[in-house]
Structure 1
Amino acid sequence: MTKRLSTRHPVVVGLATGLYPFLYNYYSNFTLVDSLTQLFFFIGFFLLVPVAVNICLKISSKKIPFVAKNYRLLLTISNAVGFASLLTFSILGPKKKIILLVIVLVFGLAFLLKKHLKKMVLLQYLLALIVAFQLGFYVANNLNFSTEWKQLPDTIMEANFKKKPNVYIIQPDGYANASTLKEAPYAMDNSAFEDFLTEHNFKIYPNFRSNYSNTVTSNSSMFAMTHHYYKNPKPSSKEAYGLRKSIAGNNAAVSVFNKNGYKTSLLIESPYIIVNRPVLGYDYSSISYKDLSFLSRGFDINVDVVAEMKKAITENKNESNFYFVEKILPGHIPVQKSDSDGKEKERENYIENLEKANVWLRQMVTLITKNDPQALIVIVADHGGYVGFNYTGELKQKVKDSTLVNSIFAATLAIRWPNNEVPEFDTKLKTNVNLFRILFSYLSENETYLDQLENDESFLVVREDAPFGVYKVIDANGTFTFKRVPVKN
């Protein structure tokens, strides 16, 4: 039976090679690989390539004596090496050095596994069956496909702009607000950069904060102008489904700009928010899908967005423009405990990266104000820097220290209003979710849109030290609290 399986069924062995890694890749990274084009690619990458290799071995065994003599060994090597390398990719992503090391180690091991090919293949199919059930359960129970949360209560989607300056939303990732930077655990002097902003007619909003704890959850809510509450997650959920599409796709904010005749541009330095290839709602993206590897995990491309902005200002000078510009600085402390150097060292690393972000922001602001003096420029972060934690995974626990809660959500905001004419209702600028609603009230000169502001509340998903769920940890008044958000079915 072993001989029949190994010599007569290269397709069976080939499918066994890639089926478990294929399914595991979807189970562990579903929201990163949920496009149809990615599905077709991964079917080829995980399944058809191993099958093709085995078919070539089968054909070669009939023509080349060496292959014929060592066919079972070569088929075992193909299966073992392919399975191990594909599984490593599914777990770690395209880590070339690690995958190469795995290939070398498994290549040698394959010589010992030659007589156990049938058992290997059966085990691989068993693993595939198990993860298939897990994937099916995950999709059925954790993926909330509802878009009801995006529905807005008024006619803001039909806003008609009376003012049409170019609008620049510049987002330095994880840049804490002015008040928080002054205090522990950040405790840094950022006055030189704040003076630079003031000199360039920016108004700084020192106590601004985000509503959600990471880039995807925060930005999806900001562009939708409404709360999603992490889409009512389940204990086994990883990332809420569909939120990435709410950033790069035809979201509410970008749609309003498009309807008002703006050219919309997405200037990002890495493909993190488009790695799952959503249908773009923007007219232009600094990263084209033809340049984006299907194996990308979101950080394998580094675009010079200052250069992109220089180019855009020249090419788009005769039309109204909306730009969303993202920079992965200063960022935040490591996600995993194993990558952390401890809270004190991570604080030092954050401050160093914030200084780098300041250099970049100076370049961007100088470029824009020189070439577009009437622009509406908004510098807004997606969340805080998590300084004071050892690693971001500690957010899974109930955070009892209000200073640490603030470190998660304290997000910088500074706005350069055209002609330095600051609207009186800018006092309502407190959290990300209401940013565009307030900007659209200003641009359309229609303050009725302010009647439907969302609550300026901040939320965390808690998994430990309290019943699993979404908790409001900062209320609309900026007071720290800990109240579970009722599940909406």
Structure 2
Amino acid sequence: MIEKLRQRILDFINSDKDTPVLAGLAVGFYLMLFYYSGNFALANSLIQFLFFTAYYVLVPVVVLYAGYKILPLFKMEGYRKNYLFVVMPVLFFYYIFELIALPFTEKGTLVAIMLVGWFVSKKYRKYYKLFIVLLFFLSVFNLPPILEAAFTKRSTQWQKQPDNIEQVTFKKKPNIYYIQPDGYTNPVNLKDSIHNFDNSNFWGYLNNSGFTVYPNQRSNYYSTLLSNSATFSMKHHYCAGDIEEYSARDIIVGENAVLRTLKHNDYKTHFITEKPYLLINRPDLGYDFCNVAYCDIPFLKDGWSQNYDVIEDLKKQMQNTSQGGNFFFLEKFTPGHISVYKKLLDNEFEKEIDAERATYLNGIKDANVWLEELIGYITKNDPNGIIIIGADHGGFAGFAYSLQSQYKTNNRLKKNSMFGTLLAIKWNDDNAKLFDKDLKTNVNLFRVVFSYLSQDKALLNNLQEDVSYVHLKEPQGIYIYIDDEGKHVFEKLENVQD
């Protein structure tokens, strides 16, 4: 069988019959699989699939076929094989350079590929079909991550609530402002030896503005997608395989438990974000309003280059809303966290740690200025609103790069840096003290808020465990880093049930 396949491939390569359409399909098929193998979570909507099919597959087919057919019109029929031999790799690397940042000039490289291809084609032009075979063969290696993402079991069972919280009736309906400054760590962490940062002026500002600051608040998960999926579901997902790779954005900005509870109480919901990070894959919005239109989000980029003014967009939206019954999710990517990827050599990690820490702490200063402006505006225009400042995860200070956290560490301060989050709430009245005494982690944030608004303490009987989980590459698995009592442990999670 292998010998027959080998012979067919050789016959195909040595055949005098040209296949410009197949050449375009080979280039496009590989590129599309290459893109989806690393970006499935960012492009799992139908409209994106159609766009990438046209961009990666149809365009190379048209370019190769059209050029092949046009050459005879200029009496260059003898160069058609040369054209296919040269243009196939040029198209291939043009698309690759769009997806991968390289330390050299892409245009110059493409010109070099074209020139080299032209000279080589003079002797070997008939072997352009070797590119076709090679690309189809290499495409196979892009399939496993796509198939894994496409066929991973997706269960919504874990999102079901243990009580009737989604049908609870609020006794009061103030506007709620949920402000999320990405990566802003908690007061306890900022005092430790890793951060060593004096943030007393900002804490004083919050106290004077009527906020309750929760000094040792932490997240249950260490990424925006994992953390917010649990927060807006008010349930643990235990790093389920499909969450970060497929359905996190659909949960966070879709019809989640928090939005269903709010809408049951006739709340209008508004999502205002600085960058369209949570919207890249065009999820079905559960919000009544979003400041980012899908038609403005690029298909080929991840949205990080786009910026929207959260405060200005909030001002515009507040002009069209009532003094009660509105929920605003305001997402700001400051202070952020340290760099995701490794920059320096292993023996230069200490230098990188110091540089990343300094950048992160400067981000804290910037976030403070922005938060004071935002809080001042909200308080002036809606003095009875509930304002929640709640970060999604920590800033990873103490690491050389944030993905370093995927390898086991015994350093307690580093683990705190991963999970410690700022939480400060400006409640309506002192009655909140009867409801928030057990608020320790993000997964229980909205259950506590809804218990307060409904004046139903029974909802607090179903608080989730205050456990912080990490998904490690080495040793591989899902582990508990901080348990329900706040103790640092290292326990592997086995056979988690929905």
Q: Which residue of 2 aligns with 1:380?
A: 390
Q: Which residue of 1 aligns with 2:146?
A: 135
Residues 149 and 245 of structure 2 are in contact (CA less than 8 Å); yes or no, is this contact kept in structure 1?
no
Amino acid across the alignment from 2:486: G
- Pairing 1:191–2:196 present: no
Q: Which residue of 2 aligns with 1:226?
A: 235
Return the TM-score normalized by structure 2.
Answer: 0.91
Q: CA deviation at 1:104?
A: 3.4
Q: Which residue of 1 aligns with 2:480?
A: 472
- Aligned with 1:400: secondary structure? coil
- Pairing 1:152–2:157 present: no
Residues 21 and 90 of structure 1 are in contact (CA less than 8 Å); yes or no, is this contact kept in structure 2?
no
Residues 80 and 106 of structure 1 are in contact (CA less than 8 Å); yes or no, is this contact kept in structure 2?
yes
Question: Which whole-Å deviations, capped at 9, do the CAs of 1:177-218 have from their partners, x for residues lacking one?
Answer: 011111110010001111111121111111100000010000
Q: CA deviation at 1:319?
A: 5.5
- Which of these residues, 414, 417, 421, is aligned with residue 427 of structure 2? 417
Q: Which residue of 1 aligns with 2:7?
A: none
Amino acid across the alignment from 2:192: E
Moved more, 257-266 or 210-219: 257-266
Matches within 5 A, 1:3-402: 8-66=18-76, 68-91=77-100, 99-114=106-121, 115=124, 116-133=127-144, 135-137=146-148, 139-140=150-151, 143-231=152-240, 233=241, 239-317=244-322, 320-338=325-343, 342-402=352-412
Sort the Cα spacing of 1:30 and 1:452 in 2 relative to 1 into closer, same or farther, 3 A: same
CA distance in 2, matches of 1:111, 1:156: 68
- Aligned with 1:418: secondary structure? coil
Question: Which whole-Å deviations, capped at 9, do the CAs of 1:126-161 have from their partners, x for residues lacking one?
Answer: 111332355335544xx2311111111110111211
CA distance in 2, matches of 1:419, 1:404: 36
- Aligned with 1:354: secondary structure? helix
- Pairing 1:427–2:434 present: no
- Aligned with 2:271: secondary structure? strand
CA distance in 2, matches of 1:391, 1:32: 22
- Aligned with 2:395: secondary structure? coil
Sort the Cα spacing of 1:101 and 1:199 in 2 relative to 1 into closer, same or farther, 3 A: farther
CA distance in 1, matches of 2:145, 2:418: 32
Q: Which residue of 2 aligns with 1:487?
A: 495
- Aligned with 1:60: secondary structure? helix
Amino acid across the alignment from 2:463: L
Q: CA deviation at 1:79?
A: 1.1
Q: Runs of 5+ in structure 1 lacking a partner?
A: none
Question: Which whole-Å deviations, capped at 9, do the CAs of 1:381-423 have from their partners, x for residues lacking one?
Answer: 0011111111112212111011111110000000001245533
Residues 229 and 252 of structure 2 are in contact (CA less than 8 Å); yes or no, is this contact kept in structure 1?
yes
Residues 275 and 297 of structure 1 are in contact (CA less than 8 Å); yes or no, is this contact kept in structure 2?
yes
- Aligned with 1:63: secondary structure? helix
Amino acid across the alignment from 1:118: K
Residues 305 and 325 of structure 1 are in contact (CA less than 8 Å); yes or no, is this contact kept in structure 2?
yes
Sort the Cα spacing of 1:102 and 1:292 in 2 relative to 1 into closer, same or farther, 3 A: farther
Q: CA deviation at 1:65?
A: 2.8
Amino acid across the alignment from 1:349: T
Amino acid across the alignment from 2:492: R
Q: CA deviation at 1:9?
A: 2.0
CA distance in 1, matches of 2:217, 2:429: 23
Please tell me whether Structure 1 or Structure 2 has the larger radius of gyration of its CA atoms. Answer: 2
Question: Which whole-Å deviations, capped at 9, do the CAs of 1:232-268 have from their partners, x for residues lacking one?
Answer: x4xxx99443122110111110121122111111111
CA distance in 2, matches of 1:329, 1:244: 20
- Which of these residues, 451, 455, 458, is aligned with residue 445 of structure 1? 455
Residues 44 and 246 of structure 2 are in contact (CA less than 8 Å); yes or no, is this contact kept in structure 1?
no
Amino acid across the alignment from 1:136: L
CA distance in 2, matches of 1:165, 1:96: 52
CA distance in 1, matches of 2:51, 2:103: 19
CA distance in 1, matches of 2:135, 2:120: 14
Sort the Cα spacing of 1:251 and 1:238 in 2 relative to 1 into closer, same or farther, 3 A: closer
Amino acid across the alignment from 2:231: M
CA distance in 1, matches of 2:243, 2:409: 20
CA distance in 1, matches of 2:68, 2:288: 49
- Aligned with 2:340: secondary structure? coil
CA distance in 2, matches of 1:239, 1:461: 11
Amino acid across the alignment from 1:60: I
CA distance in 1, matches of 2:61, 2:16: 12
Sort the Cα spacing of 1:138 and 1:242 in 2 relative to 1 into closer, same or farther, 3 A: closer
CA RMSD of aligned residues (A): 2.2
